[in-house]
């Protein structure tokens, strides 16, 4: 892949002007792919400030950075003008403590957390991993308490905890945020799945769309639409809604902890995950809207498109 001189100069200027540069999809506040989100979550742990370049808005840089460092994927982290690597390498260096050393940060706390896995969750995990020979169950918990399980090879640097006969692998940051969590298997109107409950987190309430309509009319609740841009394009947000993508987690997380907040998505699934994150942050009046915008269109306002 060739790299024209103008693009090379632009890249070199960025690297000269900023010690730490992450070429990514999206922004630090709003990553647009899972790998970029993972990279920013890790860097946010260690650095209050670093420079990001949204390659989705700059096709020349998007292709040029791949040629510049002979690295085929995005994101890419550069420190001091040198290529460090992509999301997997960033995560590996974070787990080993190498990234802490690179940035002059204190060594990570590697104390294993105490966790609880219920009988139902343990049985579901055993069934789901029965054919996953050679892979370990990893749980990553971001600074905003977003959480995700994945099956991947284990590493010597993983922090490994066992509960109810199930081994769970953590990176150092996730391990500290996992202290006291309960992993359960729950059934809701949206389906079944693993659920995390953080110590001290409030139970999440539910609102029907009729109840939401009444609360909005009374003006005693804040509605947050968590749908991505394509969902909002298919059916416009309700006039009272604040948009998670536009305001970001940090802005909404600064609301008073006793603010009543209802989260809405397409069908009520992803909004529950967001609600759990806010409950883990200490918010005491958190609700998920059952059925989401689809239920609103069906039961409240038939002029809203169903998609």
Digits of tens for pLDDT over the chain (307 positions)? 578 899 999 999 999 999 999 999 998 888 888 899 889 989 988 998 999 999 999 999 999 999 999 999 999 999 999 999 999 999 899 999 999 999 999 999 999 999 999 999 999 999 999 999 899 999 998 877 778 899 999 989 999 999 999 999 999 999 999 999 999 997 765 567 888 888 877 788 999 999 999 999 999 999 999 999 999 999 999 999 999 988 877 788 888 989 999 999 999 988 988 898 888 778 889 999 999 999 999 999 999 999 9
DSSP character string of the chain? ----HHHHHHHHHHHHH-SEEEEESB-SSSBSSHHHHHHHHHHHHH-S--EEEEGGG-HHHHHHHHHHTT--SS-EEEETTEEEE-HHHHHHHHHHTHHHHHTTPPPPP-PPPP-EE-HHHHHHHHHHTTT-TT-EEEEEE-TT--EEEEEE---TT-EEEEETTEEEEE-HHHHHHTTT-EEEEEEETTEEEEEEE-TTPPPPEEE-HHHHHHHHHHT--EEEE---HHHHHHSPPPTT-EEHHHHHHHHHHTS-TT-EEEEE-SSSSHHHHHHHHHHHTT-SEEEEETTHHHHHHHHT-TTSPP-
Structure pTM? 0.66
């Amino acid at each position: 892949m060739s790299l024209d001189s103008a693009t090379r100069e632009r890249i070199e200027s960025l690297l000269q002007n900023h010690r730490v540069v992450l070429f990514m999809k999206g922004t630090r506040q709003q990553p647009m792919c899972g790998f970029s989100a993972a990279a920013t979550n890790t860097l946010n742990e260690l650095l209050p400030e670093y420079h990001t370049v949204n390659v989705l808005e700059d096709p020349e840089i998007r292709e040029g950075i791949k040629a510049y460092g002979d690295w085929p994927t995005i994101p890419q982290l550069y420190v001091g003008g040198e290529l460090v690597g992509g999301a997997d390498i960033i995560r590996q260096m974070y787990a080993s403590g190498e990234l802490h050393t690179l940035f002059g940060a204190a060594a990570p706390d590697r104390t294993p957390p105490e966790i609880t896995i219920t009988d139902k969750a343990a049985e579901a995990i055993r069934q789901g991993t029965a054919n996953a020979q050679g892979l370990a169950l990893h749980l990553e918990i971001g600074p905003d308490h977003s959480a995700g399980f994945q099956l991947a090879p284990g590493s010597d640097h993983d922090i490994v905890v066992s509960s109810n006969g199930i081994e769970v692998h953590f990176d150092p940051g996730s391990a500290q945020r996992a202290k006291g969590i309960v992993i359960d298997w729950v059934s809701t109107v949206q389906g079944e799945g693993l659920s995390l409950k953080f110590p001290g987190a409030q139970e999440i309430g539910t609102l029907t769309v009729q109840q939401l309509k009444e609360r909005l009319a009374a003006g005693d609740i804040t509605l947050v639409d968590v749908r991505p841009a394509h969902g909002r394009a298919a059916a416009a947000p309700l006039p009272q809604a604040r948009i998670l993508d536009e305001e970001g987690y940090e802005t909404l997380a600064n609301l008073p902890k006793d603010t009543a907040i209802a989260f809405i998505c397409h069908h009520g699934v992803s909004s529950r995950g967001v609600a759990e994150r806010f409950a883990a942050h200490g918010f005491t009046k958190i609700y998920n809207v059952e059925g989401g915008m689809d239920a609103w269109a069906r039961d409240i306002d038939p002029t809203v498109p169903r998609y």
